[in-house]
A and B are shown apart, each in its own frame.
Chain A
């Protein structure tokens, strides 16, 4: 069992390394993509400058909390897109039959697939995320917690992407559903939970788990509620398991596929 895991990690590592090398061939493009992403992320601050010129707090967050939230979001976005970019294209891959190539290899289909491409601009997001932490919430323990919660958040984000992407195994027009779900996470994660009603909060702690990924970690970092980390970890494990199961189910259906949608 352990050798299987070891071998899988080895192959995934090579896959990541080579994908990254391919992106670094043109150094200017590589660097400019990263820098642009950092600038892109930074422009959001203007919106908050305006809002905080009107009021002192929004939904219980001051400027500091907002920027840590934004830094965390960027970090999560960066980690998930850097290592698992392909997961965000799952619907399309299923629909165009490109998953077949992974089925003839002796490795786990899901893991081989999601590690097959990288996003360079995501590096910019990660850098931005840490800049926010250093400027607005730095302490050694915060650094560790921030990194841990970013990884946990990224795990949940990728799992969500796999879950919604796997819908393509059952429905034909589902690629937009998957990207909408991912977009929603990003939209909500720019705004404090305090402005939303309780009904919305229920959604944000379940099917669009921004609450678990972002709001709770912000509370952990800014209010020191470190015990909640356990809750985060458990959620991440649950989402992973769910994603894996749903994908496997879908893959079985894909192979027995007796329903192919096409236009005649």
Chain B
């Protein structure tokens, strides 16, 4: 299968001016500016096949946005090669733009006072689609993504979930081969998030769109992606299948419980007691070995006041990966 994205030895640095504190610092900065070099992206390489849904995740400041900007032609790399759909984003940005779609976080692209339909026609015009073609495309997308109900309601009257769906669909009018989604579900509630995830999966299935998804929400990508690249400090920490990641790192869940009375609890295979202080307990459960239900039973639900179950945070996963690499 053809490669949608090819990245080799990509690097990008930024020089940032440092200013000291207060008035003296400001004056010093004018006379003798001190510059700090930030290596946003350091020598990363990866390839993405056409039709893949790939997750590109990492903590804040890891270099995700910078990488996407280099893939879309907004920023030029300092070193290395980038090829998206056979185009060099630096020199063929406009040509590439016709073939890709982008949804950047919460940046609204839609006109709020227009209907989704008018918005879609507008985007069609931006991508030079003849009107007939735009119309048929809109109908098709509307069917697939269930927009018919509100396609003629002004965007400002839509619910957040409906609006975001339209934002994503708007980026599909021109049948892009690659869709870059940068934090598409940030700040959304779980129901809407799920909504969007279903939409993305459908998009990939129906149109074989390559999807490049960046996020710092592990839950986001767990459901969607077959392949994950984890980036931290500008470098690739992990490039593996979702299955492996799940098995080796995401299998662990944290269970925090507040009890009515002190209970006696010991480590068991698959369940480790992390914290046992007063009436508060924190357990780590290896879901490959034991189920959450078992852990709860162990805690005794009758004696529970409150319980909180969460994933192991991404930072923790990354730390572990480094440790494993080291050993």
List chain A positions with a Cβ less than 8 A from chain B.
3, 7, 10-11, 14, 18, 21-22, 25, 100-101, 103-107, 255-264
**Would A104 and B102 count as touching, CB distance under 8 A?**
yes
Given A25-B113, A255-B74, A255-B75, also A106-B15 (CB < 8 A): no
Q: A264 touching B74 by the CB < 8 A rule?
A: no
Cβ A11 vs Cβ B97 within 8 A: no
Contact flags B39-72 to A (C-beta < 8 A → 1, else 0): 0000000000000000000000000000001001
Q: Can you list 9 A-B contacts with CB-CB less than 8 angstroms, sorted by A residue number?
A: A14-B122, A104-B73, A106-B95, A106-B126, A258-B13, A258-B78, A259-B14, A260-B16, A264-B36
Q: Which residue of B lies closest to A10 (CB)?
A: B125
Nearest residue (CB) in B for A6 is B128
Collect the chain A residues with CB atoms within 8 Å of residue B114's CB. 18, 21
Q: How many residues of B are counted as interface, with CB atoms below 8 angstroms from the partner's CB atoms?
A: 36
| Mask: chain B, 11-39; 1 = CB below 8 Å from A; 0 = not | 00111111100000000000000001000
B24 to A: closest C-beta gap in Å: 15
From B109, which residue of chain A is reached at the shortest CB distance?
A: A101
Determine if A258 and B15 form an interchain contact, defined as CB atoms under 8 angstroms apart.
Answer: yes
* Residue B76 CB within 8 A of the other chain: yes
For B91-123 the 0/1 string (1 means CB < 8 A from A) is 001110110101010010101111000100010
Q: Chain B residues near A10 (CB, 8 Å)? A: 125
Contact A106 B16 (CB under 8 A): no
Please provide the chain B residues from 112 to 148 with a CB less than 8 Å away from any CB of chain A in the complex.
112-114, 118, 122, 125-128
Q: How far is the CB of B270 from chain A (nearest CB, A)?
A: 46
Shortest CB distance A34–B (Å):
19
Residues in A neighbouring B111, C-beta threshold 8 A: 18, 22
Q: Which residues of A contact B100 (CB under 8 A)?
A: 104
Q: Are B69 and A263 in contact (CB under 8 A)?
A: no
Q: How far is the CB of A120 from chain B (nearest CB, A)?
A: 14
Docked CA distance A264–B19 (Å): 6
- If A21-B113, A25-B113, A263-B19 touch, whether A107 touches B75 (CB-CB below 8 Å) is no
CA distance A105 to B94 in the complex (A): 7
